[in-house]
């Protein structure tokens, strides 16, 4: 699989599990539909509403790798996996926007029985004592080697070694294969069930699914036009979720506009016989109209709120020098 220079824009989407369902739900919420080639077991798909786009259904780690190497133009992937690619990853992959699902924290966890160990400074002391007592370095089980090394180095912890985990990392201390772990968690419940606690300063990354773009892929004007279309719709959908449209009788337009003038400074904008305002300001606008004897006032919620330009698309264009 590779992003062909003159072919369609290649976007990686999760191929299985909860993240696949959430990614498809996000697309559907934006008005797009995923049509998988070859049925449920297919690995390629088209996105109805996005011509010129080829979706590749891949594992999350393969999406992160494809973005890093330029084999994909775009992808939906957890930030934790992008960061794990290491090096100057922000020079190779641009995170365009968080998507609100796939949330997980990458954390350092120690046994609950270590009652005097609460933070990374304590880990440094324990690691030094462990080395002096046993002649061996304390073991840290993880799948996240790059971020673990960087985080431990930032706290000055050096007397440890990484045990690469291939299974359920949270079980490593109980199994005797490691003293600490670095892993992702959503609620901490699984860690607690395995007798582990998150260190007070042990949060490495608050991760969630991101829409990301490769800065190393070969881009054409046609492919970037597909990105503009996608981002325009995504941003319009996100923007609309925070807006309400208040409408009033046409014959009361002058009084209504005077009553709502102050809300323009808060980001509201005029519509024909109405005001598009933040939903958080809706009641205040309604009360201002009521005080001016304007009514009845109706409220509706837009599905999309388009702007002439996409700030995210423009930022990506600058990074790509398009």
**Could you read off the pLDDT of 183-213 as tens digits, one per residue?**
999 999 999 999 999 999 999 999 999 999 9
Q: CB–CB of 64/75 below 8 Å?
A: yes
Average pLDDT over residues 162-170: 92
Distance of alpha carbon 54 from alpha carbon 37, whole angstroms: 11
Q: What is the C-alpha separation between 304 and 241, in angstroms, rounded?
A: 8
pLDDT category of residue 166 using cuts at 50, 70 and 90: confident
Distance CA 168, CA 250 (A): 64
Rounded distance between C-alpha atoms, residue 75 and residue 40, angstroms: 20
How distant, in Å, are the alpha carbons of 106, 142, 221, 289 from that of 79? 10, 17, 27, 45
Residues of 222-236 as b/e, b for ≥16 C-beta within 10 angstroms?
Answer: ebbebbbbbbbbbbb
Q: How confident is the model at residue 3 (pLDDT cuts 50, 70, 90)?
A: low
pLDDT at 266 over 80: yes
CA 95 to chain centre: 8
Q: What is the pLDDT of residues 22-52, one digit of tens each?
A: 999 999 999 999 998 865 556 899 999 999 9
- Tell me the domains of the chain and their CATH numbers: 9-102+208-218 (3.40.190.10), 104-207 (3.40.190.10), 240-300 (3.30.70)
Name the token pair of 231.
């981002």
Res 223 pLDDT > 80: yes
CA distances from 33 to 41, 78, 157, 228 (A): 17, 21, 48, 18
Instruction: Return d(Cα 184, Cα 167) in angstroms, integer.
Output: 13
The reported pLDDT for the residue numbered 40 is: 58
* Distance in angstroms (rounded) separating the CA atoms of residues 83 and 147: 7
């Amino acid at each position: 699989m590779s992003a062909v220079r003159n072919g369609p824009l290649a976007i990686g989407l999760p191929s299985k599990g909860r993240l696949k369902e959430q990614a498809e739900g996000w697309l559907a919420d934006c008005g797009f539909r995923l049509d998988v080639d070859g049925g449920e077991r297919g690995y390629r798909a088209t996105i109805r509403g996005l011509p010129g786009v080829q979706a590749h259904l891949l594992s999350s780690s393969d999406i992160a790798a494809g973005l890093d190497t330029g084999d994909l133009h775009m992808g939906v992937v957890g930030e934790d996996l992008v960061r794990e690619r290491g090096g100057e990853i922000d020079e190779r992959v641009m995170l365009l926007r968080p998507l609100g699902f796939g949330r997980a924290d990458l954390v350092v966890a120690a046994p609950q029985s270590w009652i005097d160990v609460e933070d990374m400074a304590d880990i440094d002391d324990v690691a030094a004592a462990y080395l002096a007592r046993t002649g061996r370095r304390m073991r840290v089980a993880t799948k996240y080697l790059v971020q673990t090394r960087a985080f431990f180095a930032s706290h000055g912890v050096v007397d440890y070694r990484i045990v690469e985990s291939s299974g359920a990392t949270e079980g490593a201390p109980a199994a005797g294969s490691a003293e600490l772990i670095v892993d992702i968690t959503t609620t901490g419940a699984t860690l607690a069930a395995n007798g582990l606690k998150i260190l007070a300063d042990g949060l490495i990354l608050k991760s969630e699914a991101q829409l990301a773009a490769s800065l190393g892929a070969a881009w054409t004007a046609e492919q970037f036009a597909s990105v503009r279309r996608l981002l325009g719709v995504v941003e319009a959908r996100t923007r609309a979720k925070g807006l309400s449209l208040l409408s009033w009788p046409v014959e009361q337009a002058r009084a209504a506009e005077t009553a709502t003038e102050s809300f323009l400074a808060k980001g509201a904008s005029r519509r024909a016989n109405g005001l598009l305002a933040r939903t958080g300001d809706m009641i205040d606008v309604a009360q201002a109209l009521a005080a001016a004897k304007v009514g009845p006032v109706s409220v509706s919620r837009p599905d999309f709120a388009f702007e002439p330009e996409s700030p995210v698309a423009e930022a990506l264009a600058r990074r790509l020098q398009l």
